[in-house]
Amino acid sequence: MSVGILAHLLGKQPYKELARKVAEYGFPYVQLALSKAITDVDCSLGKLSPGLASEIGGAFAEHQVRIAVLGCYASLVDLDDDVYRHNIDRFKEHLRCARHFGVPIVATEVGKPEDSARLPQYWERLHHALEELVEEAERWGVTIGLEAAQGHLIDSPDTMAATLERFPSSCVGVVIDPCNLLNASNYERQDEVIQSAFKQFGSRIVSAHAKDLILRSDGELKETAAGLGELHYPLFWELLEQHKPHGFVTLEGVREEQCAAAAQFVIEGRTAAISSR
């Protein structure tokens, strides 16, 4: 059983140093967001190439670290035409180069609507974006990993399920983060929310994130490292291993000094879930 990490949580740095540092911490794979993690290479739109992707991917491979997911976090719902076009083209570039990194998944949260009165326009933007991106993903044999997040257009099991129903392609999957499905109003019903997610799209999950939540005295939720909060992880591990055994799980919301304990928490929880089946 294993666990990975969001690479930039170990500090933004030259890619060879980052690869070495990931290996020193004992992580066998990462989710890599190029713009957040790497300092010595320009990975902006138009700069990615098979050669550059192979160079970065090879640096991680030399340390026996896989790049499980490329993070390309850019709004797919922006109503500014130029920003929208830039983000779609950047995501397409990631899809085209993914195989040269050795990566099966390119992931994103879909973006935050800034005007609730214009929600239909945001949904129209997202649907047009995914039409383009699904075609590109199918052409290159790469999976798009959609992640729900509070405040984003896709923010719940229901909005995720509706999007997946509209785009049934096998190249569209889910990066599930149980914390991202929760807010102050549904936190006390977290088991119900988590069960609903797996019921509606358990078969479409391609990766998972692990962090934790604490309900503060003022009623707000605070993120922390996995194992230090109140998320009902035994249920999550049970359902994850039932639907996607040995799938990718990457640490999020963790500081460097918390890495070892958080990784151990995840590994022990997943191992227990498998043993109990």
pLDDT tens track for 164-222: 999 999 999 999 999 999 999 999 999 999 999 999 999 999 999 999 999 998 889 99
Q: What is the structure's pLDDT at 166?
A: 98
Render pLDDT for 38-90 as a digit per residue (tens, 0 to 9).
999 999 999 999 999 999 999 999 999 999 999 999 999 999 999 999 999 99
Rounded CA separation 159/277 (Å): 30
Report d(CA 275, CA 181) in Å as an integer: 27
Closest CA to 105 of 16, 178, 33: 33
Question: Domain containing 72 — which CATH number?
Answer: 3.20.20.150
Supply the range of the domain harboring residue 113.
4-275
pTM of the complete model: 0.96
Pairing of strands 221-224, 212-215: antiparallel
Instruction: Tell whether the model's pLDDT for residue 32 goes beyond 80.
Output: yes
Q: List the beta bridge partners of residue 207.
A: 175
Domains identified in the chain, total number: 1
What is the rounded CA–CA span in Å between residue 142 and residue 136? 8
Determine the Cα–Cα distance for residues 62 and 20; give it in Å rounded to an integer: 9
